[in-house]
Amino acid sequence: MAAPPVQAYKTLVKELQYHNHRYHVLDDPVISDGEYDRKLSLLQSWEHAFPDLIDDDSPTHRVGGRPLSEFSQISHSVPMLSLENAFDSDALMDFDRRIAERTETQENVNYVCEPKLDGVALSLLYRDGVLERAATRGDGMIGEDVTANAKTIRSVPLRLQGDSLPNLIEVRGEVYIPHEGFELLNAEADRLGDKKFVNPRNAAAGSLRQLDSRVTASRPLVMSVYGLGILESTVKPKTHFEMLTYLKQLGFLVNSHTYLAANIFQCESFYEQLAKQRSSLPYDIDGIVIKVNSLEIQQRMGAVLRSPRWAIARKFPAQEEMTRLVAVEYQVGRTGVITPVGRLEPVFVGGVTVRNATLHNQDEIARLDLFTDDTVIVRRAGDVIPKIVRVVKEYRRANASLIEFPQQCPVCGSEIEQVPDEAAVRCTGGMRCPAQVKQSINHFVSRRAINIEGLGDKLVEQLVDRDHVKSFSDLYRLDLVILCSLERMAEKSSKKLLKSIHASRDTSLSKFIYALGIREVGEGCAQILANRFQSLEALIAEPLEKLTEIEGVGPVVARHIVDYFAEPKNMNVIDELLSIGLNCHHKGDKENSSRPLAGQTWVLTGNLDSMSREGAKGILKSLGAKVSSSISAKTTKLLVGSKAGSKLEKAKLLRVPTMQEREFADLLVSHNVYPEHKTEI
């Protein structure tokens, strides 16, 4: 075969890219499948015979590459936040009211409504128009690098379209499997005798995280985009709807049911309309997402710890099914709270088989007037947590018996106590209760805490049941003999676990605080505390009234923190961990290295109109910069507010670059940071 001209090869590549876009994104093919297959076959034959021709943008790359041994982690420079949920129209009206109050407007706010696709979030980063990396949402801060797999999704452009491409753009969207593709996937699994997927979302998640991208390439994945993380471009959309139009022009798939609403009432109407169409759509949705259209208002609204203030998910009512309550069992949690769990006759609800349902507490059992052996209606609340919503008393059997809540801990037999101002009851056994020990250890070793890889629930259960582990520090006294004596633990896996345990001795302060399991101290709060105090000793010494004043902590959590450190046995646990060499230093500098302003030193002067000085300092630090109180030749930038002082004159002498507040606001927008406007007068 004679080598084709390079230009002929490139022309064919571009032609196939065009037809891919027409078919997979626009759903409007202009050639037959047979004609497309013939062109693709020609390209493949050229590339096979003349590998030096192969272009990175070739459609043949969609078939997947060699298997990976593991996924590397990627830090999201802009967190991938979750959404607040609204399960009724009242919650939606409250959301609209909050928008009006914060923006101080009497006019109707425009919104963009989008179907809430039931899939997996994915981030795509393009540099100079070329796909550079793809990452899963992960925990919102850190995701997994799935670039090789994402390249096999035909609705993901390998190269953006258009003449004026952005220098840098991070696009976010949802990866899902349409119903038709899901049915074919399960039919093939059934033919091969493999385990079938439970629902399209699980299939999409599993397909995206394949170590072998050839497997991903064989799955019918689709990506629909809905937003941006980063944008460095001459194009500056002013509204969310304009931004979606811009993304469509770049070659991305945008859901065709996207709707621009003039007010919140139109949002509710769109919700009702889409609810009627839900069963006829070719993919799963579990509601609609409502976003403020104005990007300027989005900026002013900002975000709370885990969700933006300018968006909300209006969820569809969860699907309900009828089944029978077989028994009630009681679980003891990490803090000793006893939770009743209903064991059910298996029933298929909302795409999964449900065998258990939470009953929350004894007040909930009384409210439902629930008996064992009752016929009940089960709902997947938020399409996630199965819940008994009512009893079908017409079907109550004569042998149904009243559910009696235990008077002692069902695990250790200790007395139980009523939690003040709550419906919950708690086992008083503390770390004498095996259930609390197991749950505490599981929390301590989890990935978001100390992160001992390979130490799962089953191993923890064995270690506690055999009295090898009674406290956190016992984990660091385990040896090869003990681990090899456990079920399903050979010498190789035991050595690997010991290595993981040893590696966990070096951790960050925020992870250590979270790992301790202090009541209501989650990851976000732990990070706030670590950034504020930067040492465990400083946190322990902080009085209640000072802790209460910290934004993001508050009086209730502050009381839990003080009570925890006031308990001698808790301090003994900490002392034991530190004595065996656990190092929980503050890793602020290391964690900042990948942030956009890492390595920069900023100084502030004057008064800021749009935010407080402390707020500006906090934002700069969150972007990786150091904030100094004095200016020098090493200062990266001086942020200048009104009534600037002598620092401005010194900056001019030292030729330190300055930035006005308006420019600073634009910089924050470019990094998708939306500060709270200050409220002081």
Residues taking part in catalysis = 116
* β partners of residue 376: 323, 391
DSSP 3-state percent helix, strand, coil across the chain (nearest 5): 40, 25, 35
Give Cβ neighbours of residue 599 (< 8 Å, ≥ 6 apart).
624
**Sign for the pseudo-dihedral over CA of 647, 649, 652, 654:** negative
Handedness of CA 382, 383, 387, 388 (dihedral sign): positive
Name the pairing type of β-strands 626-628 and 583-585. Answer: unpaired
Q: What CA–CA distance (Å, rounded) separates 661 from 638?
A: 10
Phi first, then psi, for residue 383 (nearest 5°) are 60, 25
CB 376 within 8 A of CB 330: no
Pairwise CA distance, residues 394 & 403, whole Å: 18
| Side chain identity, residue 140 | G
DSSP per residue, 287-304? EEEEEESBHHHHHHH-B-
| Rounded Cα–Cα distance for residues 299 and 126 (Å) | 23
Q: What is the spatial distance between Cα 175 and Cα 153, in angstroms, rounded to a whole number?
A: 9
Helix/strand/coil (H/E/C) assignment for every residue in 243-288: HHHHHHHCCCCCCCCCEEECCHHHHHHHHHHHHHHHHHCCCCEEEE
Q: Is 672 helix (H, G, I), strand (E, B) or coil?
A: coil
Helix/strand/coil (H/E/C) assignment for every residue in 64-96: CCCCCCCCCEEECCCCCCCCCEECCHHHHHHHH
* Cβ proximity of 595 and 616 under 8 Å: no
List the alpha helices (DSSP H) in 261-412.
Answer: 264-277, 295-301, 362-368
Give SS3 for 633.
Answer: coil
β pairing state of 120-127 and 168-176: antiparallel
Per the structure block, which two tokens stand in for 158? 């390998």
- Distance CA(314)–CA(331), nearest Å, equals 32
Q: Is 22:30 a contact under the CB 8 Å cutoff?
A: yes
Q: What backbone phi and psi angles, to 5 degrees, belong to 111? A: -130, 155
Backbone angles phi, psi at 358, to 5 degrees: -70, 140
**Residues 34-63, buried b or exposed e (16+ Cβ, 10 A)?**
eebeebbeebeebbeeeeebbbebbbebbe
Tokens standing for 339? 């939770």
Q: Give the containing element (helix H, strand E) for 179.
A: helix 179-192
Q: Report the chain's terminal Cα–Cα distance, integer Å.
A: 79
